[in-house]
Amino acid sequence: MGCCRTIQAWWPITTTHNSMNKSAAVLAGFLLFSVLARGQSASPIYALTAYANAGYVRNLSQFEAPPPGLNQNGFAGSIRIMWKPEYLLSAGLEVGRTHIYSVNQDQVQTEFGTTDLHSSKDAWLILPVFSMSPLPALEVNVGIGSAISTATVESFGNTSNSSEFGSAFMASVAYLVPLSGNLRLGGELKFIRINKYEDDNLSLQVTLAYRFLEW
């Protein structure tokens, strides 16, 4: 238990009202711009498109005293389903997972003795997403939703897990080129703000988009 309290002390807890206000302001501006630009699209169809994303993520959080063995690099991935109507603004839902950071230490001295310490912090995201395409190959996405932050700590041969619920904000830019009539491939630069501990993640992901239904 002493080790777990030590790990939790490394995760800063601060007020998140300002973060949520800023995220809501960004989303409101995005939606206003999309409504004003509604007449720019000439596509006459409705479609459902699935996006699969996976790639490298870097946690941007700053630590006053970074713990030894800190690793802020990891993997992130998501699935997004978007409904694309005949005008510029699209809407959908994204479900994904992102690594935040981990700590690995050997031969840690505690009040209970010496142990190897391994901990990991991740987040599961559920985000309503709005998207627009100012250019044929370019997509801009914004979402505000929920995040379930999970923590795993291994020490003295035991594993403890915990989870906490909070809010999250996402903004991304994707560039996709067509492979066929319904299939596109490209990359996506994504920023995620997890408000519970004010963690910022920046990821570069490979994106595969498949339009599986249209009418």
Is the overall model pTM greater than 0.75, yes or no? yes
Tally of structural domains, the chain: 1
Number of Cβ atoms within 10 Å of the Cβ of 19: 18
Q: State which residues form the domain around 151.
A: 2-214
Q: Count CA atoms within 13 Å of residue 63 on its CB side.
A: 16
**For residue range 24-71, what is the model confidence (pLDDT) as tens digits?**
555 555 455 544 444 444 455 789 999 999 999 999 988 888 889 999
pLDDT tens by residue, 14-31: 334 455 565 555 555 545
- Token representation of residue 75: 């993997």
Closest CA to 169 of 23, 17, 22: 23
Terminal Cα distance for the chain, rounded = 57
CATH assignment at residue 73: 2.40.160.20
Structure tokens at 82: 């978007």
State which H helix or E strand residue 6 sits in.
helix 2-9
pLDDT tens across 97-147, in order? 999 999 998 877 877 788 888 999 999 999 999 999 988 899 999 999 999
